[in-house]
Amino acid sequence: MFVRQKLEKVNIAGVGISNINLKEMLEIFSSAISNNQKIRVCVTPVNCIVKANKDEFLKNIYNTADVVLCDGMPILWASHFINKPLAARITGLDVLPLFSEICSQKGYSSFYLGAKSGVGDSLKSKLISMFPELKVVGVYSPPIAEKFLEEENQKIISMINEAKPNILWVSLTAPKQDRWIYSHYDKIDANIIIGIGGAFEVAAGLLKRAPKWMQQSGLEWLYRFLQEPVRLFHRYFIEAPKFFPMVLKQKIKNN
């Protein structure tokens, strides 16, 4: 199976989102590892689609990724609005614990890159307490910077390649993590390379996830904002509202 050829993508405001559900995604990940393939995965929220409409390089990063996940109910709603419904919303918060369980069962190894100092170690402890057979072959929190120095990039890549993880989980916030993965993808020895934003903190138990009813009703963003208002204000109140005119324009153009 070659993922890029198999997966249908739905155009949402110029960004192709993979039309898969959670079960299919987990099967794709397992297949990539068992067949020793390499795939690049983007977990793409609304604000990244907005940014991609102003940045062709970023748009190309998403549109050339093997898997682009629908990270947000507004994206799912938009797909129905343009009459090309996506199968499901899939977030980094869904992917990390579920695939970690599969990794523990099948002996797949993980490397945690990113987040604040100590978060990766807390994540490792938490997930191993849940899945005792889980193999975590590396944890590294790089210095906070908009762009890493080349020396730091080489250090990160060397650490990853020495550990040879099956899956590299990257938590550098989107779209920074997507740019970093794209720029260094060819140098990294891992089957799956995925950017999952702030999922490390939640999966580690350092932040709480919204209740199910808020997730399903499209209010998870509000729950997250109330926990981190300073960091998330611009994303939710400045960037995200620009998404809806983009979708409306696409709808009008397609009719």
pLDDT at site 14: 96
The confidence band for 2, taking pLDDT boundaries of 50, 70 and 90, is: very low
**Residue predicted with more confidence, 235 or 110:** 110
224 Cα distance to chain centroid: 16
Q: How far apart are CA 153 and CA 75, in angstroms?
A: 33
Domains of the chain, by residue range, sit at: 3-245
Separation of alpha carbons 13 and 75, rounded Å: 10
Report the alpha-carbon distance of residue 28 to residue 110 in Å, rounded.
16
Q: How confident is the model at residue 3 (pLDDT cuts 50, 70, 90)?
A: low
How far, CA to CA in Å, does 107 sit from each of 112, 132, 191, 236? 16, 11, 14, 38
The more confidently predicted of residues 186 and 147 is: 186
Mean pLDDT of the chain: 93
Instruction: Check residue 1 and give its pLDDT.
Output: 45
Position 62 pLDDT exceeds 60: yes
Burial label, 233 (beta-carbon count in 10 A; 0-12, 13-18, 19+)? exposed
- Which tokens go with 45? 């929220």
Residue 75 clears pLDDT 70, i.e. is over it? yes
User: Measured between alpha carbons, how far is 158 from 189 in angstroms, rounded to an integer?
Assistant: 9
Q: Which segments within 3-99 are labelled E, that is strand?
A: 9-12, 15-18, 39-44, 67-70
Q: Mean pLDDT, to the nearest integer, of 72-94? A: 95
Distance between CA atoms of residues 224 and 156, nearest Å: 29
- The SS3 call for residue 72 is coil
Q: What is the pLDDT of residue 217?
A: 85
| pLDDT more than 90, % of the chain | 78
Q: pLDDT of 140-185, one tens digit each?
A: 999 988 889 999 999 999 999 999 999 999 999 889 999 999 999 9
State residue 7's pLDDT score: 83
The amino acid sitting at 67 is: V
- Phi, psi angle pair for 246, to nearest 5°: -65, -45
- Distance CA(136)–CA(242), nearest Å, equals 39
CA–CA distance, 194 with 42 (Å, rounded to integer)? 6
Phi, psi values for residue 50, rounded to 5°? -60, -45
